[in-house]
């Protein structure tokens, strides 16, 4: 059947108004569980420093004579650690024309673009602080770089025989050497958990990429999904792992390296930002018929005491 001859239709019309929704749909991930979950601190210099304290070794023969003179015990000095502040930014630029035409889904194009850049910057920061990156002081031609999580963790690790921990022993200056990848198993996890406990740590979060988050869900007691008949729901995941040394929340992170599984005591990490430079939004000079706005942050990672955390490294990620 065909349209009657002479019938005016939408295929021939040029005056129909467009139908464009005022809702803009975006499914790109923006969750940043690590930097959102750790403490926030303030930095006042390019080199941000803190101290750690260890107790003297346990004395299993601590016994003294009745009435004996007291003997002074050797004091244990603090250890001074530091990290370099890194500058990260995003710049939005919109023409004068685009700012003044009618828009769908936003009022001001520049404000909208700055909002998007803020989300992108936060994702960049999550990726950077979880990367295999050592700190660097920089120069007039080389940007400063912060030492990331993997540059500090060395006490409690499980790695391939061909891999190695940071040579600076947690000082943040060097990176890990990746080894041959192997399967992530519960035995590897338990080894690291016991090492953390032996060193006095109290981890509460496990961060893993998507593949190893699913692998985690197959650990003890979870080899088969469970069906809750009343709610008609199948549960095939582990969100909390009850270990011999306490409960840990298991969190997937899209922006960490897929080959790492991090076991973290979250209060032993912090994100320090320079005063006045935390997500600073500033207009840049006009150089023509467009407007520029820079979103900038100057920040670093505090590794307050890496003995409270650990990692299973060099694990299969696909």
Closest of 199, 270, 204 to residue 240, by C-alpha: 204
The CATH number covering residue 244 comes to: 3.90.1690
| Residue 62 counted as domain residue | no
Residue 228's pLDDT is what?
A: 52
Q: Give the Cα separation of 169 and 152 in Å (integer).
A: 7
* CA neighbor of 93 nearest in space, from 280, 285, 278: 285
Whole-angstrom Cα distance, residue 158 to residue 137?
30
pLDDT at 3: 76
pLDDT number for residue 221? 40
Q: How far apart are CA 124 and CA 32, in angstroms?
A: 10
133 in a domain, yes or no?
yes
Contact of 95 with 290, CB cutoff 8 Å: yes
Judged on CB neighbours under 10 Å (0-12, 13-18, 19+), 102 is exposed
SS3 for 13-55, per residue? CCCCCCCCCCCCCCCCCCCCHHHHHCEEEEECCCEEEEEECCC
Residue 96 backbone class (left: φ over 0; alpha: ψ -120 to 50; beta: rest)? alpha
Give the count of beta carbons closer than 10 Å to the beta carbon of residue 38. Answer: 20
Residue 18 lies in a domain: no
> Tens digit of pLDDT per residue, the chain (318 long)?
787 776 767 677 777 777 667 666 666 677 999 999 999 999 999 999 999 888 888 999 999 999 999 999 999 999 999 999 999 999 999 999 898 888 888 888 999 999 999 999 999 999 999 999 999 999 999 999 999 999 999 999 999 999 999 988 889 999 999 999 999 999 999 999 999 999 999 999 999 999 999 999 888 744 344 455 555 555 556 788 999 999 999 999 999 999 999 999 999 999 999 999 999 999 999 999 999 999 999 999 999 999 999 999 999 998
Q: How many angstroms separate the CA atoms of 151 and 173, rounded?
A: 7
Under a CB-based contact definition with an 8 Å cutoff, are residues 146 and 86 in contact? Answer: yes
The sign one gets for the Cα dihedral 84, 163, 199, 257 is positive
Residue 175 lies in a domain: yes
Number of folded domains that form the chain? 1
Report pLDDT for 164. 96
User: Quick check: is 252 in a domain?
Assistant: yes
Strand pairing category for 233-235 and 269-274: unpaired
pLDDT on residue 18: 72
Task: Identify whether 3 is part of a domain.
Answer: no
CA 74/CA 171 separation, integer angstroms: 25
**Domain boundaries, position 180:** 33-51+78-312
Would 214 be classed as within a structural domain?
A: yes
Assess if residue 11 is contained within a domain.
no
Position 27 scores a pLDDT of 64
């Amino acid at each position: 059947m065909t349209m009657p001859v002479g019938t005016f239709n939408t295929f021939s019309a040029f005056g129909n108004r467009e139908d464009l929704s005022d809702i803009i749909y975006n499914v790109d991930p923006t969750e940043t569980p690590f930097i959102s979950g750790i403490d926030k601190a303030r930095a006042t210099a390019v080199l941000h420093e803190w101290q750690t304290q260890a107790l003297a070794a346990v004395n299993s023969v601590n016994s003294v004579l009745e009435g004996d003179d007291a003997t002074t015990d050797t004091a244990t000095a603090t250890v001074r650690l530091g990290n370099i502040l890194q500058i990260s930014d995003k710049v939005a630029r919109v023409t004068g024309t685009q700012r003044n035409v009618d828009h769908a889904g936003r009022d001001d194009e520049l404000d909208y673009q700055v909002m998007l850049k803020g989300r992108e910057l936060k994702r960049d920061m999550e990726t950077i602080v979880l990367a295999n990156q050592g700190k660097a002081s920089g120069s007039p031609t080389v940007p400063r770089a912060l030492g990331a999580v993997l540059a500090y963790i060395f006490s409690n690790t499980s790695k391939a025989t061909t891999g190695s921990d940071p040579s600076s022993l947690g000082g943040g200056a060097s990176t890990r050497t990746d080894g041959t990848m192997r399967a992530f198993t519960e035995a590897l996890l338990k080894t690291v958990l016991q090492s953390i406990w032996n060193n006095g740590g109290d981890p509460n979060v496990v961060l893993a990429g998507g593949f190893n988050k699913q692998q985690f869900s197959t650990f003890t007691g979870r080899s088969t999904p469970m069906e809750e008949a009343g709610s008609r729901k199948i549960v095939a995941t582990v969100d909390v792992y009850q270990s011999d040394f306490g409960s840990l929340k298991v969190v997937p992170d899209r922006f960490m390296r897929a080959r790492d599984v991090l076991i973290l005591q979250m209060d032993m990490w912090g994100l320090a930002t320079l005063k006045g430079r935390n997500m600073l939004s500033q207009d840049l000079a006009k150089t023509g018929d467009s407007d520029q706005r820079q979103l900038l942050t100057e920040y670093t990672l505090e590794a307050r005491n890496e003995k409270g955390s650990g990692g299973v490294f060099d694990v299969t990620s696909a």
